[in-house]
Structure 1
Amino acid sequence: MKQIRFYLDFVSPYAWLAFERLPEVLAGLSHSVAYQPVLLGALLQQHHNPGPAGIAPKRDWTYRHVGWLGHAQGTPLQLPARHPFNPLPLLRLALACSDDGHINRFVAGAVLRHVWQGGQDALDAGRLAALGTELAGQLRPGQDNHGAAPKALLRANTEAAQAAGVFGVPTFEVDGKLFWGLDSLPMLRAYLDGDAWFDAGAWDAVRQIPSGLTPDKG
Structure 2
Amino acid sequence: MTHGIEAAQPHWFYDFVSPFSYLLLEQHDKWPTLAFNATPIELDTLYRHWGGRAAYSLPTKRIFTYRHALFRAEQLGIPFRMPPVHPFDSRAAMQLALATNADIQGVREIFRFIWREGRDPSTAEGFASLCERLGQNGDVLQAANATAQAQLQRNTAEAIALGVFGVPTFYLDGQLFWGEDALPMVLYCARTPNWLESKEVQRVSALPSAVKPD
Q: TM-score, normalised by structure 2?
A: 0.88
Which among 70, 74, 93 is matched to residue 73 of structure 2? 70
Match of 1:94 in 2: 97
Match of 1:182 in 2: 180
Q: Would the aligned equivalents of 2:170 and 2:177 in 1 still touch at CA under 8 Å? A: yes
Matches within 5 A, 1:37-48: 37-48=40-51
Change (3 A) 1:204 1:155: farther
Tell me the amino acid that sits aligned with residue 208 of structure 1.
A
Matches within 5 A, 1:108-123: 108-123=107-122
Per-residue CA distance 1:53-85 (angstroms, 9 max, x = gap): 011100000000000100010111111100011
Per-residue CA distance 1:108-165 (angstroms, 9 max, x = gap): 111111110223333232221121122236x8x9544762110111011001100000
Match of 2:19 in 1: 13
- What SS class does the counterpart of residue 136 from structure 1 fall into? coil
In 2, the alpha carbon distance for the partners of 1:13 and 1:49 equals: 18
Tell me the amino acid that sits aligned with residue 162 of structure 2.
A
The 4+ residue runs of structure 1 with deviation greater than 6 A are none
With 180-189 and 106-115 compared, the bigger mean Cα shift is at 106-115
Identity, % of aligned positions: 32
Match of 1:213 in 2: 211
In 2, the alpha carbon distance for the partners of 1:144 and 1:128 equals: 12
Per-residue CA distance 1:25-51 (angstroms, 9 max, x = gap): 33xx4x212100000000111111111
Structure 2 residue runs of 5 or longer lacking an equivalent are 1-7
Tell me the amino acid that sits aligned with residue 112 of structure 1.
F
Which among 167, 170, 194 is matched to residue 168 of structure 2? 170
Aligned length, in residue pairs: 206
Change (3 A) 1:80 1:145: farther
Q: Would the aligned equivalents of 1:179 and 1:188 in 2 still touch at CA under 8 Å? A: yes
Q: Would the aligned equivalents of 2:92 and 2:121 in 1 still touch at CA under 8 Å? A: no
Structure 1 residue runs of 5 or longer lacking an equivalent are none
In 1, the alpha carbon distance for the partners of 2:98 and 2:104 equals: 12
How many Å apart are 1:177 and its aligned residue? Answer: 0.7
In 2, the alpha carbon distance for the partners of 1:145 and 1:6 equals: 27
In 1, the alpha carbon distance for the partners of 2:170 and 2:54 equals: 19
Q: TM-score, normalised by structure 1?
A: 0.86
Change (3 A) 1:52 1:215: closer
- What SS class does the counterpart of residue 16 from structure 2 fall into? coil
Per-residue CA distance 1:72-112 (angstroms, 9 max, x = gap): 101111111000111111111111113xxxx3012211111
Matches within 5 A, 1:114-153: 114-136=113-135, 142-144=140-142, 147-153=145-151
In 1, the alpha carbon distance for the partners of 2:144 and 2:9 equals: 31
The alignment yields a C-alpha RMSD, in angstroms, of 2.2
In 2, the alpha carbon distance for the partners of 1:186 and 1:85 equals: 30
Match of 2:3 in 1: none
Match of 2:189 in 1: 191
